[in-house]
Amino acid sequence: MTKLPRAIRQLIEKFERLPGVGPKSAQRLVFYLLHNPEHELQDFADKLVALKKNVVLCSICHNVAEHDPCDICSDSSRDETVLCVVEQPLDLLALERSGKFTGKYHVLHGAIAPLNNIGPDQLYLRDLLERLAGVKEVILATNPTMEGEATALYIAELIAQSIPDENERPHITRIGHGLPIGADIEYADGVTLARALEGRRSI
């Protein structure tokens, strides 16, 4: 049986590790790249290396950015009294596209998922508490999934425990109508996200 060259097999294996890419898709991608001019492949490789070298996590909100702090955290025109908590940087980008939110963000980089061995300690949760001084409202905009709901409830409890006095505690709301159960924020359109922000509720 004829085997593919080692370089092709190894690259196919790398592509198969990407989310949503199966064996056949990985093969198609590799053979597509194989037929590209060498200078384009080199440019592609350079961009991959630059992905790690030129992208940082904002030390304040943990969004991906070119510099620290990120543009949103550096923007003095943003409302610092409202903090929106999201699971991933893509969720932040989706909410920004709605054009309806002018506050600050906190990116968790995941959700609590015990079946996947992801607990609170694997997320950027603890430093969220350090950002609550002066905050009047915390919007929990985690995805409307089992994991997202569990994470939202955990954060609400965490804030309640750290600030026992209700008068000093920020108002905690959950992103509301507009997002169907099981949907991811990053795939929602701007109108849906705008309605979800406007329809947020207390929890």
Position 68 scores a pLDDT of 94
Residue type, 22: G
Express as a percent the part of the chain with pLDDT over 90.
Answer: 75
**pTM of the predicted structure, to 2 decimals:** 0.80
* Spatial separation of the C-alpha atoms in residues 100 and 83, rounded to whole Å: 14
Going 181 to 104 to 161 to 167, the CA torsion angle's sign is negative
Residue span(s) of the chain under CATH 3.40.1360.10 come to: 79-202
Express as a percent the part of the chain with pLDDT over 70.
Answer: 96
Superfamily of domain 6-52: RecR Domain 1 (1.10.8.420)
Quick: pLDDT tens for 7-35.
Answer: 999 999 999 999 999 999 999 999 999 99
What tokens were used for 47?
């961009």
Q: Is 202 helix (H, G, I), strand (E, B) or coil?
A: strand
Q: What is the mean pLDDT of residues 165-187?
A: 82
Position 64 scores a pLDDT of 96
Q: Bridge-partner residues for 39, per DSSP? A: none
pLDDT at 114 over 90: no
Is 85 in contact with 141 (CB distance < 8 Å)? yes
Position 177 scores a pLDDT of 61
**Residue 116 class from Cβ within 10 Å (0-12 exposed, 13-18 middle, 19+ buried)?**
exposed
Position 134 scores a pLDDT of 94
pLDDT at 170 over 80: yes
| Number of other CB atoms surrounding residue 34 within 10 Å | 12
- Which helix (H) or strand (E) covers residue 128, if one does? helix 126-129
Q: Bridge-partner residues for 104, per DSSP? A: 83
Q: What is the mean pLDDT of residues 84-99?
A: 95
Does domain 79-202 sit in CATH 3.40.1360.10?
yes
Q: What is the mean pLDDT of residues 64-72?
A: 96
Quick: pLDDT tens for 43-64.
Answer: 999 999 999 899 999 999 999 9
pLDDT at 194 over 80: no
Average pLDDT in the chain = 91
Q: What is the mean pLDDT of residues 176-201?
A: 75
On the CB side of 106, how many CA atoms lie within 13 Å of its CA?
Answer: 25
- Which helix (H) or strand (E) covers residue 107, if one does? strand 103-107
pLDDT at 1 over 60: no
pLDDT at 198 over 80: no
